[in-house]
């Protein structure tokens, strides 16, 4: 007999015995009695043979009863599963157990993950959508607190839609006043220099969630059935307040409306978001991609009857419109392209392929169908629209989903790049369907790798990025590498002049750096071939490109683009054609190369390890030599430049050189080395009007070896042209040798010289105060007063430095005098 049959029989016997013991507790006591009777019958007193027969019959009856009960339980379980899967609705159920579990795991597991994911997205949106009135906007705090959202407090049930699509309905309620989203803003424009803090301290969201499993459990779609109830608490304060306290009902209402509008466009039926459920997580972060979109054809295109009635006054009018040309406009974020005009009545065929650019791991492609107006009018009539959403999944697949007929779900999955997916999507607010084919040509990842059409996940080793819980990603941090970006050429740019041509040029924005190419006159396919060098920034900083048509009375916009620079590898050149966004045509050809780390970065790493240090008494000495190619800020084509040096909270400035774009200052400024950042601001001096900035640059001095001078030209940031020449020295005092009597006399003379300096400084302060008081009595002299107060502040800082130096000299002198007295007393 096979072993598996023996094991099965043993298991069956064990289950039978357990069941008999459970039903007949006396059975263990009866078995020894029967065994004793058998022993007596066998060797002592013989009984009849009916006892074994009775035991066999009884055991058979018990086994049959056990098998019948097992069969009934199995049939009941199958029937329950069948009823659960086939019935259209399930009974309403509370979810207290789920909320209890959620409250337990929320603070230390779910909330940090959500905060880290939303924070990265929020910081990107802030950089991209920052208003012009805000100079900088920073997220200083981002927490949701310990109160999680409550699920299914009132009702939770399953329903069956369209006879085959199960849908989970669940109540959603989140009411918390423990959250803290703190934004610190520095304003620009007329309020430049003013800082403000805004904190979102409470939120209330109440609605009904709708969860739909798709693709046999490979993902779920979630949305609100209707627009949820939203209330937001917000406080406002100045930059000096650590926690804003002023409640702003108007701003709260505006933020609530903005939040509701965002939900209506992204997460209220029929708009749905997707949460993929991959079986494998390859630990990669997709940061962009290239999507190939093929518009195949449309079927049964008809607008709403009310619109057709306005356009056609008789029944033959609708038939006449069938011959009008139609085209499809494709939009993905700010990138828009359109197909050619195509006839074909109610079912035109285009079969045209267009490449779109994704700037994240998800995206939405909108399709808008138009037809030409009557009598070949220039205007086009809108027929209808639809959209398809795309999302990268952690197992290197891609999900596509859209809204089907009667709000059903259309979903498909591409296991790898290059696989084509075909969807037939119904149009909204119209009759008809649009057939499209979509395929991901390329996914780009944060570690520098790519997934292309011939890509297989097992052939590439990916880096796992580790992010500590509770830490925020750093933005605009120099990595030490340099980027060489070559603007090669453009093609198929939009014509803006009457001649059918344009005069294009480019502006490149990276962090705070701005660079501009030359202007190519009367050409829609310009050739620039210009190279620019940028310091590489971390935190996913994009290279932003804006294309303009040069015009005497104001430059016209030819489009813009964003290029993701994450994951660039040294020694490899990235050659790309970037389509222009916010316009319907045009591409820019770029070559991007990463240069190696320079000496400053290596020195900075040594400084972080402690090998470079200023020491006590160290100073930073900067010599502002000259500048060249400055921006003309005055009407005469010149400027009146001077340099304002900000070192931490200390500001010093040079003299003004009038009417020149290449000033020479040759001035030396000195600061006590305390590790503060140094920024050089080049400004244009005006007597009546406020001073205007003509560029600035950051100076890194921490990596400099002691008592060595570096001589550099640095490009100015925030302007098109301009460089400044400076020399920087980090001076460290040598150790003092034993003091002799001659040194005592020198220090005494130094004290007298210090007192003289202090008296002169006091006279200078009194003179500046008198001048400021005189200017304060006059009108329209605010700029003069401001400059005078800056000089007064510098004089006060100089006075404090002299006093501290005098105190050090005095203490040293007293100590040496005592040593001299002891030495003299020993001699005597």
Residue-wise pLDDT tens digits, 395-428? 889 999 999 888 888 999 999 888 999 999 999 8
- Residue 436 pLDDT more than 90? yes
Q: Which of 614-618, 701-705, 714-718, 819-823 has the highest mean pLDDT?
A: 714-718
Q: Is 561 exposed, middle or buried (0-12, 13-18, 19+ CB in 10 A)?
A: buried
Name the token pair of 113.
Answer: 């993950």
Give the residue among 412, 391, 398 at the shortest CA–CA distance from 455: 398
Within 10 Å of residue 661's Cβ, how many Cβ atoms?
18
Q: What is the DSSP letter of 238?
A: E
Q: What pLDDT, on the 0 to 100 scale, is given for residue 20?
A: 78
Q: What pLDDT, on the 0 to 100 scale, is given for residue 159?
A: 83
Q: What pLDDT, on the 0 to 100 scale, is given for residue 256?
A: 78
pLDDT digits (tens, 9 = 90+) for 524-577: 999 998 888 887 877 667 888 999 998 877 888 999 998 888 777 787 888 889
Lowest average pLDDT, out of 178-182, 206-210, 373-377, 700-704, goes to 373-377
pLDDT digits (tens, 9 = 90+) for 273-331: 999 998 888 888 888 888 999 999 999 887 654 455 545 544 444 444 445 788 999 99
Q: What pLDDT, on the 0 to 100 scale, is given for residue 503?
A: 92
Q: What pLDDT, on the 0 to 100 scale, is given for residue 589?
A: 93
Q: What pLDDT, on the 0 to 100 scale, is given for residue 455?
A: 43
Q: Which one is predicted more confidently, 45 or 153?
A: 153
Estimate to the nearest angstrom the gap between the alpha carbon of 729 and the chain centroid.
39
Q: What pLDDT, on the 0 to 100 scale, is given for residue 248?
A: 56
**At which residue do the structure tokens 């620039």 appear?**
528
- Residue 714 pLDDT more than 80? yes
Mean pLDDT of the chain: 77
Lowest average pLDDT, out of 44-53, 97-106, 181-190, 565-574, goes to 44-53
- Residue 735 pLDDT more than 60? no
Confidence grade of residue 366 (pLDDT, cut at 50, 70, 90): very high
Q: Are 123 and 475 in contact (CB under 8 A)?
A: yes
Q: Are 103 and 148 in contact (CB under 8 A)?
A: yes
Q: What is the dihedral of CA 674, 678, 683, 689, to 10 degrees?
A: -50
Q: Phi, psi (5° rounding) for residue 676?
A: -70, 155
- Measured on CA atoms in the order 112, 114, 115, 121, is the torsion positive or negative? positive
Separation CA 541–CA 563 (nearest Å): 9
Separation CA 480–CA 597 (nearest Å): 5
Arithmetic mean of pLDDT, 642-663: 89
Confidence grade of residue 748 (pLDDT, cut at 50, 70, 90): very low
Confidence grade of residue 731 (pLDDT, cut at 50, 70, 90): confident
Helix (H) or strand (E) holding 827: helix 782-827
Q: Are 763 and 757 in contact (CB under 8 A)?
A: no
Within 10 Å of residue 415's Cβ, how many Cβ atoms?
12
- Residue 685 pLDDT more than 70? yes
Nearest-5° angle of CA 456, CA 457, CA 461? 125
**At which residue do the structure tokens 């003069």 appear?**
784
Q: How far is CA 124 from CA 117, 129, 718, in A?
A: 11, 9, 21
Instruction: Round the CA-based radius of gyration of the chain to a whole number and report it.
Output: 39
Give the residue among 691, 640, 681 at the shortest CA–CA distance from 663: 640
Q: What pLDDT, on the 0 to 100 scale, is given for residue 610?
A: 38
Q: For residue 617, what are the contacts with CB-CB under 8 A and spacing of at least 6?
A: 732, 733
- Residue 721 pLDDT more than 90? no
Separation CA 417–CA 441 (nearest Å): 6
Q: Which of 53-57, 182-186, 524-528 has the highest mean pLDDT?
A: 524-528
């Amino acid at each position: 007999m096979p072993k598996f049959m023996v094991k099965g029989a043993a298991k069956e016997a064990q289950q039978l015995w357990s069941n008999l013991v459970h039903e007949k507790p006396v059975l263990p006591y009866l078995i020894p009695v029967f065994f004793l009777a058998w022993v007596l019958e066998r060797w002592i007193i013989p009984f009849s043979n009916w006892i074994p027969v009775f035991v066999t019959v009884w055991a058979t009856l018990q086994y049959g009863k056990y098998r019948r009960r097992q069969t009934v339980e199995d049939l009941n379980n199958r029937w329950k599963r069948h009823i659960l899967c086939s019935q259209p609705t399930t009974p309403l159920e509370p979810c207290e157990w789920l909320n209890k579990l959620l409250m337990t795991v929320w603070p230390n597991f779910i909330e940090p993950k959500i905060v880290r994911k939303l924070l990265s997205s929020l910081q990107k949106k802030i950089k991209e959508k920052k208003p012009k009135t805000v100079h900088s906007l920073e997220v200083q705090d981002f927490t949701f607190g310990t109160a999680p959202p409550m699920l299914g407090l009132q009702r939770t049930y399953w329903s069956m839609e369209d006879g085959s699509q199960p849908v989970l309905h669940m109540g959603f309620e989140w009411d918390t006043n423990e959250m803290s989203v703190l934004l610190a803003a520095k304003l620009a424009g007329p309020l430049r220099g003013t800082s403000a803090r805004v904190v979102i301290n409470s939120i209330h969201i109440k609605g009904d969630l709708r969860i739909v499993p798709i693709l046999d459990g490979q993902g779920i779609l979630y949305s609100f059935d209707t627009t949820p109830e939203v209330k937001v608490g917000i406080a406002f304060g100045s930059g000096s307040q650590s926690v804003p306290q002023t409640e702003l009902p108007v701003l709260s209402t505006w933020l609530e409306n903005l939040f509701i509008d965002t939900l209506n466009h992204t997460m209220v039926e029929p708009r749905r978001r997707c949460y993929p459920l991959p079986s494998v997580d390859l630990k990669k972060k997709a940061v962009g991609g290239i999507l190939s979109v093929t518009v195949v054809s449309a079927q049964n295109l008809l607008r709403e009857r009310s619109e057709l009635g306005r356009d056609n006054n008789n029944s033959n009018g609708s038939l006449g419109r069938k011959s009008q040309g139609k085209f499809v406009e494709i939009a993905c974020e700010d990138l828009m392209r359109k197909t050619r005009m195509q006839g074909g009545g109610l079912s035109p065929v285009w079969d045209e392929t267009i490449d779109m650019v994704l700037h994240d791991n998800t995206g939405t492609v909108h399709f808008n169908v138009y037809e030409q107006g009557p009598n070949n009018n220039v205007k086009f009539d809108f027929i209808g629209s639809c959209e398809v959403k795309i999302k990268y999944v952690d197992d290197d697949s891609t999900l596509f989903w859209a809204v089907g007929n009667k709000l059903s779900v259309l979903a498909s999955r591409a296991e790898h790049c290059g696989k084509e997916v075909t969807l037939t999507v119904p149009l909204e607010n119209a009759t008809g369907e649009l057939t499209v084919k979509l395929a991901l040509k390329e996914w780009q990842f944060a570690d520098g790798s790519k997934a292309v059409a011939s890509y297989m996940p097992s052939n590439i080793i990916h880096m796992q990025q580790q992010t500590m819980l509770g830490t925020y990603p750093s933005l605009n941090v120099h990595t030490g590498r340099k980027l060489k970006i070559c603007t090669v050429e453009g093609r198929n740019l939009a014509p803006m002049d009457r001649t059918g041509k344009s005069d294009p040029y480019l502006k490149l924005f990276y962090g705070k750096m701005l660079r501009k190419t030359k202007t190519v006159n009367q050409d829609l396919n310009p050739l620039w071939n210009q190279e620019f060098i940028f310091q590489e920034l971390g935190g996913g900083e994009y290279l932003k490109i804006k294309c303009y048509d040069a015009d005497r009375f104001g430059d016209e916009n030819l489009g813009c683009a964003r290029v993701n620079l994450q994951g660039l590898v040294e020694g490899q050149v990235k050659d790309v054609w970037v389509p222009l966004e916010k316009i319907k045509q045009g591409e820019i050809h770029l070559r991007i190369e990463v240069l190696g780390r320079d000496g400053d970065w290596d020195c900075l790493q040594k400084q972080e390890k402690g090998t470079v240090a200023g020491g006590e008494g160290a100073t930073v000495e900067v010599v502002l030599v000259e500048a060249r190619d400055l921006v003309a800020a005055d009407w005469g084509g010149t400027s009146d430049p001077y340099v304002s040096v900000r070192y931490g909270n200390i500001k010093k400035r040079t003299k003004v050189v009038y009417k020149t774009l290449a000033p020479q200052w040759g001035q030396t400024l000195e600061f006590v080395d305390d590790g503060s950042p140094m920024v050089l601001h080049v400004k244009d001096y005006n007597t009546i009007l406020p001073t205007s900035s003509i560029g600035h640059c950051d100076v890194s001095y921490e990596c400099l070896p002691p008592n060595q001078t570096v001589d550099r030209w640095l490009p100015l940031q925030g302007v098109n042209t301009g460089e400044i020449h400076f020399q920087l020295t980090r001076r460290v005092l040598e150790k003092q040798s034993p003091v002799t009597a001659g040194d005592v006399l020198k220090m005494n003379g130094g004290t007298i010289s210090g007192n003289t300096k202090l008296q002169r400084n006091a006279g200078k302060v009194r003179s500046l105060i008198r001048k400021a008081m005189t200017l304060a009595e006059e009108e329209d002299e605010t700029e003069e007063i401001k400059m005078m107060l800056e000089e007064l502040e510098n004089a006060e800082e100089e006075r404090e430095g002299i006093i501290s130096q005098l105190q050090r000299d005095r203490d040293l002198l007293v100590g040496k005098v005592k040593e001299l007295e002891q030495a003299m007393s020993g001699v005597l």
